Structure 1
Amino acid sequence: MVMVPSLVNIVLTVLLSVLGTSSCFASSLLSDYEVLVTLKQGFEFRGVPALSSWNSSSPSSVCSWGGIGCSRGGRVVSVDLTDLGLSGSVSPALISRLDQLVHLSLAGNNFSGSIEIGNLTNLRFLNISANQFDGGLHWNYSSIPNLQVLDAYDNSFAALLPLGISSLKKLRHLDLGGNYFYGTIPPSYGSLVGLEYLSLSGNDLQGKIPGELANLTGVREIYLGHYNVFEDGIPAEFGKLVDLVVLDISSCGLEGPIPHGLGNLKALDTLYLHTNLLSGSIPRQIGNLTGLVYLDLSNNMLTGEIPLEFANLKRLKLFNLFMNRLHGSIPDYIAGEFRELETMGLWMNNFTGIIPQKLGQNGRLQVLDLSSNKLTGTIPPNLCSSSRLRILILLNNFLLGPIPEGLGACSSLTRVRLGQNYLNGSIPDGLIYLPLLNLAELQNNYLSGSLSDASSSLSSSLAHLNLSNNLLSGPLPTSLSKFPSLQILLLSGNQFSGPIPASIGQLHHLQKLDISHNSLSGQIPPEIANCTFLTYLDLSQNNLSGPVPSEISNIRNLNYLNLSRNHLNQTIPRSIGGMKTLTTADFSFNDFSGKLPESGQFSLFNASSFAGNPHLCGSLLNNPCNLSAMGTPRKAAAADFKLIFAVGLLVCSLVFAAAAIVKAKSFKSRNGGGGRPESWKMTAFQKVEFKVSDVLECVKDGNVIGRGGAGIVYHGKMPNGVEVAVKKLVGMGHDHGFRAEIQTLGNIRHRNIVRLLAFCSNKDTNLLVYEYMRNGSLGEALHGKKGSLLGWNLRYKIAIEAARGLCYLHHDCSPLIVHRDVKSNNILLNSTFEAHVADFGLAKFLFQGGGASECMSAIAGSYGYIAPEYAYTLRVDEKSDVYSYGVVLLELLTGRRPVGGEFGEGVDIVQWCKKATSNWRREELVHILDPRLSSSSSSSSSAASSNSSSSSNSTSQQQEQQRLMHLFFIAMLCIQDNSVERPTMRDVVHMLSEFHPNSSSSSSPNPSPNNKHHL
């Protein structure tokens, strides 16, 4: 009986304890619920609201919310908001209240502002990558001591690398890449001995790579390159990182030799050291890396031969050594031992000897580029043994013998470039008709025989065919006209005979046709006018006869026409004078007769264009025609024309005046185009602290800072002091895809692209709000008073930064964007003269989608920058941007505007530079450099002296000259008439990085025009 009350007390005690614990859990869960609800209130959503499951009023439902994970005790331990399209800011105080948090991911959103995570002792995983966080990462890391993963990749952090990270002894994964961190890499990072992954690439780091990083003996992946510019070379201590699987230190200005100790890294799978200034020979110890799969040592200054020890690299798939100074032969073991090889690029070296004849027998080869060497012998017969070979580039060598027959059946080929060799024999049947082949260049060889016809089931992708300067003969096959995508057809300098087939008019996409220097006969088929995109037509030096078809004048984009040295007769069609785009024509040495027209384009041609036609007459030829019988009617016709012109001018004036009155009234009724603030809608792409009314206050005549074809730009200051640029678009409709495209532009994040902050619109007007660039545009600076302040190093830096911005648009943005109006006025400079690409892609986006055909109905661009194929065909791709960028490089070099009377009538900067530097010599370049700065780069032996200061100045001048030659060379590649021969913007960035202004190298080779071969 005594024990009963005691037992009751025990039971009651336990029950109360359980109830108390449950109450504690409930209280904690309620706190987690309140934190998450408050966090959601601070988020901004676009389109369909995210976190739709976070709508319950019951705290007990938290653990079922999307992205939320709970422990068995009901506490929130995981928050995963990855890729939900959220924006706004993140409150560190709220996050720290989730005190049981183990996993936190905010990745792939649009969060902005600063962020600090702390007071989470259980936190192990933190991912804040791909946002717009700024400031620094100088947190209290002692309050998150158990952190194992810290991923802050792709944000806008701009500060020194945080030293406190060194205290995270459990850290395994650290990614701070793709930001604006500056300064040096702290040696204390070497104390993170548990680290397995380290990425600091894509920042603004300088100084030396600390040897202390070699203390990370468990690290498996290291990424330090891209945008960083380090002094000296690769630390020799890296040879101790025996567990390393990936080492990427590319594109960061490293000098000196490759350490032999890298041969100790037996676990290495990937070694990327490309696009640096590394010199010396390739260490034979690299051959010890038997597990190596990807090896890229390209674009350096390496010398010597390929080590024999490389025969041990039996797992290689990627083998790139191009753009070095290597010599010797290509070892046979590459064909015999590299059984996994897929890509090999050895171009632009000094390799000699023959190509290993068993190359390709492994059946895996996809890309082979050995061009611009001194290779001899024949092309291996089994390069495409398993129909995987896609790209074959062997041009500019000394190769002999025939093209292997097997290539004629290589259905996987997309690009073949075998030009500038000594190849002979016939072209294999089927080669130029392969279904995926896009580019075929066999020019400047000794190929003979006739071109075979293709089967009726031809479905080729061929866009560019160059067979010029060979010994080909026979008729032009009719099947050439069946290429649906052919844009460039070059057959000059052969022995083709017979007529030009009328079916050539079926090449509806043809832009350039050159069949000169052959033995073609018969008449010019009128059907050639059906090639409406033709910009270049050369039929010269043949045996053509008969009249020039008047239909040629229907080719509205024709720019170049050469019919010289034939047997053409009768009169030259007067309608050719109405071809507004025709700037060059040659009718010389034919049998033309009658009066030479003097109106229209004929007035632009020289007398030499008509020489060798004794029966032609006219004032241009100093051979007057007998026009006495035509005097009176001609005067009457002239009088009639003047009367009609005067009446027409009067009518037009009245129409324009009426339109101006109507427009003025409309403008006034809309309060200057602004409208009431409540009629506007604003979409913010960043965290902004202004309203529509603040933006409208900027749209005043007194605030105008620029005008262009797409709109007017105003400068304004928001209430919080932030300066912005507001662009008022003109002539832009509200099609169904417009807002989606603006949304895409708002999501673009890159350090060299101007940030779009917001978009405001009403039913009449669209306003784009950008961050303000204090130093205006490059065009204004370069061609204004600041031009003399832009030194060569700064201009080179601007060139690299603008190229990086365009490279992001072309290669890394999703969806990819073609700018369509690259020019110096669309490259803006901030207060530190950092370059930012502006106005990118807008015209294309506005007209993309359902209205794609209307997009190309008119040229969107600026005169002087427009690529030839765009100007004449209205067809645009990323190579059109590359051409425009090349013009910008010429502006930077010469200090001149793209067009102007200083070059001569009808001549632009591209034509002027090509003519002035026809031999690619250094002394020619000096004559076109900006005269405001060129004195610093002209080579003058008289300035040399025996003292060390003079020697240092001489070395500095040599470095500067090499950079300028390099910049000029890249510009020449970009402005190639044939878009296929232009580099990509990614290639441009790599080439520019080779001679970065911060580099101390002065021994790099002068560039060669043959560098364009690999594109």
Structure 2
Amino acid sequence: MKPVMMLMLLFLVMAAVISCAGSNEGEVLLVLKAAMEDPEGALDGWNESDVNNYCSWNGVGCDGSYTIVSLDLTNMNLSGEISPDISHLQSLVNLSLAVNRFNVAFPGVKVAALRMLNISNNNFTGTVAADALRELSRLEVLDAYNNNFSGPLPVEVAALRKLRHLHLGGSYFTGSIPAAYGNLSSLEYLGLNGNALSGAIPAELGRLGNLRHLYLGHFNVYDGGVPAELGNLSNLVRLDMSDCGLTGRIPAELSNLRSLDSLFLHVNSLEGPITPALGRLVALKSLDLSFNQLTGEIPQSFSNLTSLTLLNLFRNRLHGSIPEAIGDLPSLEVLNLWENNITGSIPERLGRNGKLKVLDLSSDKLTGLIPPYLCAGNNLESLILLDNFFFGPIPQTLGACKSLTRLRMGQNYLNGSIPTGLLNLPKLDLIELQNNYLTGNLMPDDIKVSAKLSQLILSNNMLSGALPRNIGDLSGLQVLFLDGNEFSGSIPPEIGNLKHLGKMDLSNNKFSGQIPEEISRCKILSIVDLSSNELTGSIPSTLIQMHILNYLNMSRNHLTGGIPKDLEQMQSLTAVDLSYNNLSGVVPSGGQFSLFNASSFTGNPDLCGPYLRPCTFQVDSATNSHAKGSISCTVKLVLVIGLLLCSLVFASAAIIKARALKRNSPSRSWKLTAFQRLDFTCENVLECLKEENIIGKGGAGIVYKGSMHSGEEFAVKRLPGIGRGSSNDHGFAAEIQTLGRIRHRHIVRLLGFCSNQEINLLVYEYMPNGSLGELLHGKKGGHLEWATRYKIAIEAAKGLCYLHHDCCPLIVHRDVKSNNILLDSDFEAHVADFGLAKFLQDSGTSECMSSIAGSYGYIAPEYAYTLKVDEKSDVYSFGVVLLELITGRRPVGEFGDGVDIVQWVNKMTESRKEGVVNILDQRLSTVPLHEVMHVFSVAMVCVEEQSVERPTMREVVQMLTDPPKVKTCENSVPASEEEEAKESDGAGNPRDLLST
């Protein structure tokens, strides 16, 4: 019995020890929890009453002896601090704090047994504690990606000889890469991309013989080029050194990387020829050398790259021909060689592998015929051959390429007819064949056409024949440009079936007959150009039904009758040309017609009225045409009085200007104009105009940071002075007039300005958090939480609403963009930069500008082609800002091939809910899906192509501040308690969260 009793006693002692140890580790977890902020209650289960069962707590993992070996707090929206007491978890193997909001430096942890440390995607600041790094002698994985670390890279990392995975990218580390990192002999993954590193890339990295992945690019700007020693990394699979300022030549030693499958050196300043030695990288699948300054020819040795799927060499200075062997690469899917000086022809066998998806050879000097086998495997999606010297017919095989989505072959010398079946391809969205020598008919009358096609651009060819009636079956068509051809016959009434048509140009053809009244059924047409044809009959009075028509050109035809007086009621009409017809009667003088000039109606001898000769006949009110009789002398009297008034106005203006010049005698002294009580003088402002104080540069001037005697900070925008004889005030007068009278919480506050004849200095409140654009599109965009983004959207909308509805006169900003929305210390939004602002005298009217002003990607469509601006132009720009907040993407430059964010979003969101998930900023951790859907809906109505369909800013504010609540299904019966819990979660409270 004694042995049995001894065993029982030993068991009780061991249980007590385990219980004691367990209690200690459970208490450590409670200490950790106390130092954290947990807004979503992810750690609610960590409580003192259950401290002995900590192994069942959320995120905690234990081994068989009840010892914590894993702590996974990933994606819990935690913030605050990580208590140094974590060092008491001596057996910890896996620690993951990824995708949270911790906002302090990682503590000086001393965990000898730690094998994995993942602190990625947080908001830590400062540098990694050196003591902690020295103690983690068993560390195998250190992932600190996407933080706010600053200062030099920690050299202490080099002491961690067991380290296999080191990722310190996506922070603000500066200085050079420590050469000691070359001592990490076990390293398989090294990521230093996305920092602010400089200096030369150390040759010592070539000693990392086990390295498989090396990422050094993006935002870093190194001195020199690619070290030849990297060719010693025999196990390297992926090398990414893109966008990091590299110069010099591509070293031939890289050809020793026989395991390499991806080589990315794009967006640098590499020069010289492409070394033929790269042809020895037989395992290579992706090669991107685009956007450099490479010269010479494409190496013939590339024929050995039989595994290659992607070859990007665009935007270089390459010449010579495309090697015929490129066409034989068995796995090639993407070939982009555009914007070089490449000559010769396309390899005849290109596409025969059946895998080619993208081919872009635009803006080169290629010639010859287009090969017939580019779509041999029905995988070709995008074929872009713009701006070359191709001749001959378009291959008929393209008419059967069912995978094709984009076909762009304009600016060539192509002849022959359009391939049969091309307009019936099920996925084809865009056809551009303009500026060629194509002949024949558009398509047979009996062919079935695709409802998918949205843009058909065939301008400036030699196409002829009648426009077939089945053109009305292209139900998805948005742009139809057939101008500059030889089409004849009447315009078919089926054109009215194109319900989505927004732009139509049939000018410079031989169309005859009357303009079909059915054209007015195209309700969203904004541009109609029927000029330079042989059209007869009258102008359809039904045009009044086209409520958003902006541009109407029917000039140089044979139209007769009067101009329908009802057209003056079309408020959207901003440009009209009816010149050189046989129109008669009186030109309407009301509404938008009061803005047009004589050039819109010249060449019609029987027209009279405004801008033209006085009417000498009576007018038939029914047709607005002339009838025999005499006209009253009223018109003559009005003209005489008008001329007299103009003379008086000019004389008065000259006197006022002379007096002003006399008052403003030459003086270079500084003058301070204050809009409130100020604690500084012009001398204080001038003191801050130093290079080290620059915080921003724009198209109009430089912005500096300064401070008052009290310590309060301010910003100074330096603009050129108007001076004598200057016609351009660089936006100074507009900004002063605007900001000087505005007092609103969400409009940047102008404190005063200093000026002389040479320089103007605007002084306004300082915004510590910079602009919304900098935060969204810099490296830290992911740290701008959804709640903050939503708040900024509402506040910026309120600022614009004030400008549009509460100022007198109303103000149109004209340059609404994320960079002009500034954020104070509490991330409160303030609309700024009124250098382009314009006053509108009456609500609902527009003003015509002399040129386009604003920022590319934000400009409303009607502003771009009519130069007419009103409040709805700002609404469009604000809608683009909302899309930036949702997607985290810039308005242009990220979607390729001239596509902006509005076009990209439209393409990606055909199914609204799933589509929004596709475009959502992936750097966001969790967001309330119903809120995102609501903001997305507001954004899309703001960017409607037709201005009349956009809401006012007052309506935008109302929509944003009153989002719809998540609806419940009161009559449904949950199948289980679990489903009932889910329904309840998604009903009243905002827990409809989307994880990304």
TM range (shorter): 0.5 to 0.7
Contact 1:749/1:755 (8 A) holds in 2: no
Indicate how the Cα distance of structure 1 residues 460 and 586 shifts in structure 2: closer, same or farther if over 3 A, else same: same
Secondary structure of 2:18's match?
Answer: helix
| Offset of residue 114 of structure 1 | 2.2
Match of 2:376 in 1: 385
| Offset of residue 712 of structure 1 | 2.6
Contact 1:752/1:805 (8 A) holds in 2: no
1:208-234 CA-to-partner distances (Å, cap 9, x unmatched) read: 211121121211111111111112111
Q: Aligned residue pairs: how many?
A: 731
Q: How does 1:464-479 map to 2 (within 5 A)?
A: 464-479=455-470
Indicate how the Cα distance of structure 1 residues 779 and 60 shifts in structure 2: closer, same or farther if over 3 A, else same: closer
| 2:538 counterpart of 1:485 | no
Match of 2:566 in 1: 575
- Matched residues in 2 for 1:357 and 1:39: separation? 67
* RMSD, matched Cα: 4.3
The one of 295, 317, 323 aligned to 2:315: 323
| 2:62 counterpart of 1:32 | no
Opposite residue 74 of structure 1, the aligned amino acid is Y
1:757-809 CA-to-partner distances (Å, cap 9, x unmatched) read: 966999xx98999553999989549789xxxxxxxxxx99xx9xxx9999896
Q: How does 1:626-641 map to 2 (within 5 A)?
A: 626=617, 631=632
Contact 1:707/1:713 (8 A) holds in 2: no
Secondary structure of 1:209's match?
Answer: coil
Q: How does 1:48-197 map to 2 (within 5 A)?
A: 49-51=41-43, 54=46, 57-84=49-76, 86-116=77-107, 118-140=109-131, 141-197=133-189
Secondary structure of 1:255's match?
Answer: coil
Indicate how the Cα distance of structure 1 residues 810 and 875 shifts in structure 2: closer, same or farther if over 3 A, else same: farther
Identify unmatched segments of 5+ residues in structure 1: 1-6, 638-703, 716-721, 728-741, 785-794, 821-836, 861-867, 877-1015
- Matched residues in 2 for 1:220 and 1:560: separation? 59
Q: How does 1:458-469 map to 2 (within 5 A)?
A: 458-469=449-460
Match of 1:990 in 2: none
Opposite residue 31 of structure 1, the aligned amino acid is N
- Matched residues in 1 for 2:783 and 2:28: separation? 35
Opposite residue 119 of structure 2, the aligned amino acid is I
| Offset of residue 56 of structure 1 | 8.1
| Offset of residue 431 of structure 1 | 0.8
Contact 1:421/1:444 (8 A) holds in 2: yes
- Matched residues in 2 for 1:151 and 1:469: separation? 57
Instruction: Indicate the larger mover: 592-601 or 71-80.
Output: 592-601
Opposite residue 305 of structure 1, the aligned amino acid is E
Indicate how the Cα distance of structure 1 residues 203 and 805 shifts in structure 2: closer, same or farther if over 3 A, else same: farther
Secondary structure of 1:158's match?
Answer: strand
- Matched residues in 1 for 2:58 and 2:18: separation? 21
Q: How does 1:905-944 map to 2 (within 5 A)?
A: none
The one of 319, 332, 355 aligned to 2:324: 332
Indicate how the Cα distance of structure 1 residues 853 and 186 shifts in structure 2: closer, same or farther if over 3 A, else same: closer
| Offset of residue 138 of structure 1 | 3.2
- Matched residues in 2 for 1:402 and 1:375: separation? 15
The one of 945, 952, 964 aligned to 1:869: 945
Q: How does 1:524-923 map to 2 (within 5 A)?
A: 524-626=515-617, 631=632, 712=746, 750-751=779-780, 755=784, 771-772=824-825, 780=833, 810=887, 849=933, 859=942, 869=945, 871=947, 874=950
| Offset of residue 169 of structure 1 | 0.9
1:80-118 CA-to-partner distances (Å, cap 9, x unmatched) read: 12223x222232323212121010111122332222251
Identify unmatched segments of 5+ residues in structure 2: 619-628, 639-737, 750-764, 799-821, 838-853, 859-879, 903-920, 953-996
Match of 1:663 in 2: none
1:253-309 CA-to-partner distances (Å, cap 9, x unmatched) read: 111111111111111110000011100000011001000000000011100011111
- Matched residues in 1 for 2:330 and 2:743: separation? 57
| Offset of residue 78 of structure 1 | 0.4
1:445-468 CA-to-partner distances (Å, cap 9, x unmatched) read: 111111224778654321111011
Indicate how the Cα distance of structure 1 residues 406 and 339 shifts in structure 2: closer, same or farther if over 3 A, else same: same
- Matched residues in 2 for 1:708 and 1:294: separation? 55
Match of 1:204 in 2: 196
| Offset of residue 491 of structure 1 | 0.4
Opposite residue 541 of structure 2, the aligned amino acid is S
Opposite residue 162 of structure 2, the aligned amino acid is K
| Offset of residue 476 of structure 1 | 1.2
Opposite residue 563 of structure 1, the aligned amino acid is M
Indicate how the Cα distance of structure 1 residues 760 and 123 shifts in structure 2: closer, same or farther if over 3 A, else same: closer
Match of 2:217 in 1: 225
| 2:355 counterpart of 1:364 | yes
| 2:286 counterpart of 1:257 | no
Opposite residue 780 of structure 2, the aligned amino acid is R
Opposite residue 751 of structure 1, the aligned amino acid is K
Indicate how the Cα distance of structure 1 residues 435 and 123 shifts in structure 2: closer, same or farther if over 3 A, else same: same
Contact 1:95/1:117 (8 A) holds in 2: no
TM-score (norm 2): 0.67
Secondary structure of 1:256's match?
Answer: coil
1:939-967 CA-to-partner distances (Å, cap 9, x unmatched) read: xxxxxxxxxxxxxxxxxxxxxxxxxxxxx
Contact 1:847/1:854 (8 A) holds in 2: no
Contact 1:533/1:872 (8 A) holds in 2: no
| 2:336 counterpart of 1:345 | yes
Opposite residue 282 of structure 1, the aligned amino acid is I
- Matched residues in 1 for 2:30 and 2:479: separation? 62
1:343-393 CA-to-partner distances (Å, cap 9, x unmatched) read: 110011111111011111101110010111111111111111111110000
- Matched residues in 2 for 1:846 and 1:538: separation? 43
| 2:519 counterpart of 1:519 | no
Write 1 or 2 for the structure with the bigger share of helix.
1
Indicate how the Cα distance of structure 1 residues 543 and 804 shifts in structure 2: closer, same or farther if over 3 A, else same: closer
Contact 2:35/2:83 (8 A) holds in 1: no
Instruction: Indicate the larger mover: 262-271 or 765-774.
Output: 765-774
- Matched residues in 2 for 1:819 and 1:540: separation? 33
- Matched residues in 1 for 2:142 and 2:790: separation? 40
- Matched residues in 2 for 1:455 and 1:753: separation? 54
Contact 2:171/2:195 (8 A) holds in 1: yes
1:22-61 CA-to-partner distances (Å, cap 9, x unmatched) read: 33222111112122234344444455x4346546834443
Secondary structure of 1:132's match?
Answer: coil
- Matched residues in 1 for 2:593 and 2:394: separation? 46
| Offset of residue 553 of structure 1 | 3.0
Indicate how the Cα distance of structure 1 residues 870 and 28 shifts in structure 2: closer, same or farther if over 3 A, else same: farther
Indicate how the Cα distance of structure 1 residues 810 and 276 shifts in structure 2: closer, same or farther if over 3 A, else same: farther
Indicate how the Cα distance of structure 1 residues 307 and 773 shifts in structure 2: closer, same or farther if over 3 A, else same: farther
Contact 2:170/2:779 (8 A) holds in 1: no
Instruction: Indicate the larger mover: 476-485 or 123-132.
Output: 476-485
Match of 2:871 in 1: none
| Offset of residue 136 of structure 1 | 1.7
Indicate how the Cα distance of structure 1 residues 464 and 113 shifts in structure 2: closer, same or farther if over 3 A, else same: same
Contact 1:430/1:454 (8 A) holds in 2: no
Opposite residue 237 of structure 1, the aligned amino acid is E
Opposite residue 615 of structure 1, the aligned amino acid is D
Match of 2:981 in 1: none
1:382-428 CA-to-partner distances (Å, cap 9, x unmatched) read: 11111111000011111111111111111111100011111111111
Secondary structure of 1:620's match?
Answer: coil
- Matched residues in 1 for 2:394 and 2:65: separation? 74
Opposite residue 459 of structure 2, the aligned amino acid is S
1:834-857 CA-to-partner distances (Å, cap 9, x unmatched) read: xxx9xx9xxx99986469777655
Instruction: Indicate the larger mover: 158-167 or 97-106.
Output: 158-167
- Matched residues in 2 for 1:518 and 1:150: separation? 68
Match of 2:391 in 1: 400
Opposite residue 122 of structure 1, the aligned amino acid is A
TM-score (norm 1): 0.66
Secondary structure of 2:158's match?
Answer: helix
1:959-1005 CA-to-partner distances (Å, cap 9, x unmatched) read: xxxxxxxxxxxxxxxxxxxxxxxxxxxxxxxxxxxxxxxxxxxxxxx
* Percent identity (aligned): 44
| Offset of residue 633 of structure 1 | 11
Higher relative contact order (CA 8 A, sep 6+): 1
